Amino acid sequence: MLILSRRHNEKIVIGDDIVISVVEVRGDIVKLGIEAPRNVKVYREEVFEAIRAENAAAMASAPALPDLDL
């Protein structure tokens, strides 16, 4: 894991097209702004984990498809 220190209004650039900005620091809360192409999905970790769990549950409950011999 890379750990970087940034102050208010400072940025981090990832690759050629993702920029993360420190928008606000208030106590132990940090607000970040993320600029990324529309095709890059950006989630909070708890939302990402909920999506992952829901997808796993859907896969577990889906009926198996029969093999098709063509």
Phi, psi of 4 (to 5 degrees): -120, 145
- For the chain, the maximum distance between any two Cα atoms, rounded to a whole number of angstroms, is 64
Phi, psi of 35 (to 5 degrees): -105, 120
pLDDT at residue 27 in the model:
93
pLDDT at residue 10 in the model:
97
The pTM for the full model equals 0.73
pLDDT in tens for each of the 70 residues of the chain? 999 999 999 999 999 999 999 999 999 999 999 999 999 999 999 999 999 999 999 888 877 777 777 6
DSSP 8-state class, residue 2? -
pLDDT at residue 63 in the model:
78
Q: What are the extents of the domains in the chain?
A: 11-61
